[in-house]
């Protein structure tokens, strides 16, 4: 098995209560042991080619000792690799940021909007903002990931304007809400498809205006994905969206259990053994999966669609394809308007 994407959920502990957490609120507080962490790294080191290691949780900075250990041990892996960390930013400190920066760890902050929106959806908005200000102080580049829902979609332009005040901010990634965990019972819902299309187009317009005055432009991950797809020859059936679609992704829970990706952790339907007794065959459950929608036949992106996360398609059932399609079509309209 050749792992190209390793997700390390260092802890199930979290200091927020996000209204749509796909891990749910019943997780027993647990930190990964050093032995489990080392075994996970050993399994990933056996492959070849580029490897990305993503540190996550819970909130990984609550287990700062494990963050240090993971980063240091990963540096000994004898294959090309990169390391990233996903954090809510509330527990960042100057020493930790300088450590991450020194080891070239890619930092991504979970941010769903300006402070009032962040407070509504995640809580502790002031602490997250403080973490972002520390990143700025330490001159540590960072990106943000925004979970898109009906609650924060109208505020995307304000989110871009907020990030414009941070010279170290590098861009935004948009993740559609996953109906798993607490999100299944939450009042937070998916946005309307047409509203999604128009809102992302407005977001691009604001980013264009902001970037005129920035030395380093703020990027929109999904727009970059779309531009890359449009620049390449058409492919029947589309290309794999992620490493899980190639059977090259492995997520490790704090107790050592293995799954395909971070979103399928703690789901017994996707259990792939443990780091001591892995069942690599189970990691191929999403292999070959591609986005399909009733819109595909007449879509201008046919053959060049960037695709969609297979676990989101699984948990959101029939809701998400139309949403992600409208996301891409909204972005396509901004590209076409600039060319006309």
**Cβ-contact 257, 27 below 8 angstroms:** no
For 324, residues 6+ apart whose C-beta sits below 8 A from its C-beta are 176, 291, 308, 312
Find tokens 């490790």 and name the residue. 252
**∠ CA(55), CA(105), CA(62), 5° rounding?**
45
Q: Which residues of the chain have pLDDT under 70?
A: 25-27, 237-238, 318-321
Write out the residue range of the structural domain in which residue 125 sits: 5-339
The residues facing 108 across adjacent strands are 86, 143
pLDDT score recorded for residue 320: 54
Q: Degrees (nearest 5) of the Cα angle 279, 281, 286? A: 120
pLDDT in tens, 235-278: 776 678 999 999 999 999 999 999 999 999 989 999 999 999 99
3-state secondary structure of 7: strand
CA 45 vs CA 5, 79, 81, 115, 234: distances in Å: 11, 7, 10, 40, 34
Report in angstroms the alpha-carbon separations of 126 from 1, 116, 129, 285: 43, 10, 5, 40
Residue 19: CA atoms inside 13 Å, Cβ hemisphere, count? 20
CATH number at residue 120: 3.20.20.70
Number of domains the chain contains? 1
Segment 107-146, tens digit of pLDDT: 999 999 999 999 999 999 999 999 999 999 999 999 999 9
Q: What is the pLDDT of residue 179?
A: 86
């Amino acid at each position: 098995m050749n792992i190209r994407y390793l997700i390390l959920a260092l802890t199930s502990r979290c200091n927020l209560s996000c209204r749509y957490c796909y891990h749910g609120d019943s997780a027993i507080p647990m930190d990964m042991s050093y032995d489990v962490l080392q075994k996970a790294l050993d399994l990933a080191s056996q492959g070849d080619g580029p490897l990305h290691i993503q540190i996550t949780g819970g909130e990984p900075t609550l287990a700062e000792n494990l963050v240090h250990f993971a980063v240091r041990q990963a540096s000994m892996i004898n294959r090309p690799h990169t390391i990233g960390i996903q954090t809510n930013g509330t527990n960042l400190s100057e020493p930790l940021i300088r450590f991450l920066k020194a080891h070239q760890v890619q930092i991504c902050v979970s941010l769903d909007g300006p402070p009032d929106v962040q407070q509504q959806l995640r809580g502790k908005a002031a602490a997250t903002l403080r973490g972002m200000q520390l990143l700025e102080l330490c001159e540590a580049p960072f990106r943000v990931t925004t979970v898109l829902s009906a609650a924060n979609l109208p505020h995307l332009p304000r989110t871009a304007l907020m990030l414009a005040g941070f010279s170290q901010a590098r861009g935004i990634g948009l993740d559609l809400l996953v109906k798993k965990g607490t999100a299944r019972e939450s009042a937070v819902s998916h946005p309307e498809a047409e509203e999604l299309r128009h809102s992302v187009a407005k977001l691009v317009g604001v980013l264009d205006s902001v970037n005129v005055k920035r030395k380093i432009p703020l990027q929109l991950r999904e727009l970059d994905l779309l531009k890359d797809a449009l620049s390449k020859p058409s492919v029947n059936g589309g290309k794999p969206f992620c490493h899980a679609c190639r059977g090259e992704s492995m997520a490790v829970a704090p107790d050592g259990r293995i799954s395909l990706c971070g979103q399928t952790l703690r789901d017994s339907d996707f259990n792939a053994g443990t780091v001591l007794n892995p069942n690599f065959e189970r990691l191929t459950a999403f292999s070959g999966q591609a986005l399909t929608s009733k819109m595909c036949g007449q879509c201008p992106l046919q053959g060049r669609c960037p695709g969609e996360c297979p676990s989101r398609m699984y948990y959101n059932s029939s809701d998400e394809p139309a949403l992600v399609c409208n996301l891409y079509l909204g972005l396509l309209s901004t590209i076409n308007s600039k060319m006309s």
